[in-house]
C-alpha cells in the first residue's frame, strides 16, 4: 500500500457493533465478564483498550513494523525502553538530543546503576570506539533536536547487531512519513506522538514500534506494570492526526525549505541548521535515509547578544513563542532557556547548542505570511 492510503486506513476498521467508520472512544475502565475469567479478551483498561489497540496497530503499520505500543507521553515511551535494562548495563546515547531524554537518563536512571555514555553520533565510528560487551542499548535521535545533526541509522544498526545491543531511534523530528528506522535495521522506533503524529498541539503521547515478538512482550509487560498508558480520547486524537500526516508533512517540507533558504540568505543571520542544505555535514546520509527534510530549522543571528536573541524571539506575530513542535501552527523557541534548559550549560555549549540558538517549528500556514513575519522580527 502507498503511504497516503496507509496513513488514512492504518489500524482502523469499521466498529463491529455499529459500523462507525471512526474508531469509537472506549471511555471505560473495566469490562463485564459473564463468569470469572470468561471475557471478550478485555479485562481492565490499563491492559486492554480497543481505541488504544487500534492506534497501536496503526503505529506499527505506518512505521513498517509488526507491533506498536503507545504511552502517556514520549518520555514515558523512552522510560519503558530503559526499564528493559538492569544495573551495570551500559547505554550509548547521542550527545545532542532532546533535553528531556538527557534529563531522564542522568537524573532518574543513573541512580539505578545504569551507565550512560554520550558520543557524537554524526560519525558511527565514535560508537564503535567505545562499545563493549556491557553495552545493551544504543539510543539515537535523527535529525537531532535542536541542531539537526544526522545519524547514519544503517551504519549504527550494523554496529549494534555486531555487539548484540539494541538500537532505538527517536524518530520524532522526521515522522514516519519521512523516515522509517526499522527498515534501516533499528530494533525499536520511538516517537513523541505529541508532535507530528498528533499534529494539532492538543495531545501528549508517546509510542514504540518493533518487529521482535519477545521484545514486544517485554515492553507490553512494562507498559501494563508501570501503567503509563494514554487515555482513549488521546488515542483517538492521534489516530485522527495520522490520517493527515502525509498532507501536513508535504507542506511542512515545502515551507521548511523556503524558510531555510530565506534565513540563509538573510544578512543578519549567521548560521542555519537544516539537513536539506547540500553543504550540511551529513547531507548525503540525510538524502539517503529520509524522503524529505521536514519543517524543523535552527539558526543563529550575527548579533548573538542575549538582548538581540530575546528581541527576535519576542517579535514574531504568526510564529508563537512556545515549546513543542510538529503542529499545524508555526512555533519559535529558545532551546537554551526552554526545551533544553535541563542540560547543564557547559555540556550544551560543548555540543554546539549556544545561548543564541533559535529553533523554528515551521507550520503549514501560507508561506508568504511566515516569511513576512520572520522578516519583520529579524529586520
Ligand X SMILES: *Cc1c(COP(=O)(O)O)cnc(C)c1O
Which part of the chain contacts ligand X (CB under 6 A), choosing from 97-105, 151-159, 328-336, 350-358? Answer: 97-105
For residue 99 the three cell numbers come to 533535553
Looking at residues 98 to 127 of the shown chain, list those that interact with ligand X (rule: CB under 6 A).
Answer: 98, 100-101
Catalytic residue among 26, 67, 98, 118: 98
Reply yes or no on whether 234 is catalytic.
no
Q: How far apart are CA 374 and CA 379, in angstroms?
A: 8
Catalytic residue among 96, 170, 187, 373: 170
Smallest distance from ligand X to CB 178, Å: 14
Residue 75 binds ligand X, judged by CB under 6 A: yes
Measured at the alpha carbon of residue 55, what is the angle toward residues 295 and 231, in degrees to the nearest 5?
100
Residue 140 binds ligand X, judged by CB under 6 A: no
Which part of the chain contacts ligand X (CB under 6 A), choosing from 16-24, 59-67, 187-195, 342-350? Answer: 187-195
Give the residue nearest to ligand X (CB): 74
Count the neighbouring beta carbons within 10 Å of the beta carbon of residue 139: 24
Question: Total residues at the site for ligand X (CB under 6 A)?
Answer: 16
Smallest distance from ligand X to CB 163, Å: 24
Residue 170 binds ligand X, judged by CB under 6 A: yes
Q: How far apart are CA 227 and CA 162, in angstroms?
A: 33
State which of residues 135, 194, 330, 361 lies at the interface with ligand X (CB under 6 A).
194
Q: How far apart are CA 147 and CA 149, in angstroms?
A: 6
Smallest distance from ligand X to CB 164, Å: 26
State which of residues 23, 140, 172, 179 lies at the interface with ligand X (CB under 6 A).
172
By the 10 Å C-beta count (0-12 exposed, 13-18 middle, 19+ buried), 341 is classed as: middle
Residue 195 binds ligand X, judged by CB under 6 A: yes
Reply yes or no on whether 170 is catalytic.
yes
Smallest distance from ligand X to CB 75, Å: 4
E-only strand ranges, 187-255: 188-192, 206-210
Q: Identify whether 111 is preceded by a cis peptide bond (ω within 30 of 0).
A: no
Which part of the chain contacts ligand X (CB under 6 A), choosing from 96-104, 240-248, 263-271, 310-318? Answer: 96-104
SS3 category, 170: strand
Residue 204 binds ligand X, judged by CB under 6 A: yes
Q: How far apart are CA 346 and CA 115, in angstroms?
A: 21
Closer CB to ligand X, 51 or 145, in the complex: 145
Closer CB to ligand X, 103 or 224, in the complex: 103
Residue 74 binds ligand X, judged by CB under 6 A: yes
Helix (H) or strand (E) holding 103: helix 99-103
State which of residues 51, 122, 192, 201 lies at the interface with ligand X (CB under 6 A).
192
Please, which residues have CB within 8 angstroms of residue 363's CB and are 6 or more apart in sequence? Answer: 252, 255, 295, 327, 328, 329, 330, 331, 370
* 354 Cα distance to chain centroid: 22
Which part of the chain contacts ligand X (CB under 6 A), choosing from 54-62, 190-198, 301-309, 340-348? Answer: 190-198
SS3 category, 255: helix
DSSP letter string over 11-53? T----TTT--SSPP----SB---SBTTB-SS--BTTT--HHHH
Q: Can you give the binding site for ligand X, defined by CB under 6 A?
A: 73-75, 98, 100-101, 141, 145, 170, 172-173, 192, 194-195, 204, 206
Residues annotated catalytic, as ranges: 46, 98, 170, 195
Amino acid at each position: 500500500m502507498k503511504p497516503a492510503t496507509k496513513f488514512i486506513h492504518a489500524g482502523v476498521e469499521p466498529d463491529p457493533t455499529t459500523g462507525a467508520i471512526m474508531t469509537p472512544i472506549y471511555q471505560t475502565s473495566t469490562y463485564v465478564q459473564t463468569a470469572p475469567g470468561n471475557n471478550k479478551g478485555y479485562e481492565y483498561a490499563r491492559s486492554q483498550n480497543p481505541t488504544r489497540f487500534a492506534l497501536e496497530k496503526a503505529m506499527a503499520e505506518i512505521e513498517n513494523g509488526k507491533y506498536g505500543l503507545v504511552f502517556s507521553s514520549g518520555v514515558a515511551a523512552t522510560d519503558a525502553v530503559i526499564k528493559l535494562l538492569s544495573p551495570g548495563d551500559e547505554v550509548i546515547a547521542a550527545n545532542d538530543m532532546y533535553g528531556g531524554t538527557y534529563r531522564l537518563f542522568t537524573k532518574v536512571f543513573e541512580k539505578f546503576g545504569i551507565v550512560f555514555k554520550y558520543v557524537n553520533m554524526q560519525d558511527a565510528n565514535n560508537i564503535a570506539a567505545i562499545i563493549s560487551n556491557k553495552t545493551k542499548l544504543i539510543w539515537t535521535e535523527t535529525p537531532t533536536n535542536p541542531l539537526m545533526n544526522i545519524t547514519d541509522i544503517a551504519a549504527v544498526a550494523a554496529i549494534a547487531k555486531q555487539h548484540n545491543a539494541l538500537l532505538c531511534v527517536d524518530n520524532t523530528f522526521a515522522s514516519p512519513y519521512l523516515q522509517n528506522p526499522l527498515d534501516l535495521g533499528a530494533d525499536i522506533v520511538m516517537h513523541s506522538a505529541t508532535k507530528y503524529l498528533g499534529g494539532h498541539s492538543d495531545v501528549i503521547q508517546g509510542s514504540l514500534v518493533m518487529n521482535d515478538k519477545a521484545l514486544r512482550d517485554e515492553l507490553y509487560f512494562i507498559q501494563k506494570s508501570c501503567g503509563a498508558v494514554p487515555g482513549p480520547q488521546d488515542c483517538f486524537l492521534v489516530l485522527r492526526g495520522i490520517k493527515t500526516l502525509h498532507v501536513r508533512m508535504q507542506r511542512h517540507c515545502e515551507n521548511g525549505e523556503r524558510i531555510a533558504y530565506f534565513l540563509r540568505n538573510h544578512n543578519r543571520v549567521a548560521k542555519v541548521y537544516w539537513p536539506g542544505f547540500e553543504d550540511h555535514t551529513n547531507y548525503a546520509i540525510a538524502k539517503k535515509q529520509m524522503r524529505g527534510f521536514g519543517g524543523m530549522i535552527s539558526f543563529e543571528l550575527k548579533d548573538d547578544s542575549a538582548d538581540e536573541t530575546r528581541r527576535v524571539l519576542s517579535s514574531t506575530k504568526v510564529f508563537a513563542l512556545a515549546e513543542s513542535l510538529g503542529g499545524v501552527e508555526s512555533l519559535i523557541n529558545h532551546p537554551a532557556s526552554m526545551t533544553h534548559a535541563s542540560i547543564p550549560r557547559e555540556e550544551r555549549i560543548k555540543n554546539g547548542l549556544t545561548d543564541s540558538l533559535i529553533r523554528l517549528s515551521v507550520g503549514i500556514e501560507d508561506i508568504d505570511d511566515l516569511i513576512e513575519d520572520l522578516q519583520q522580527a529579524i529586520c
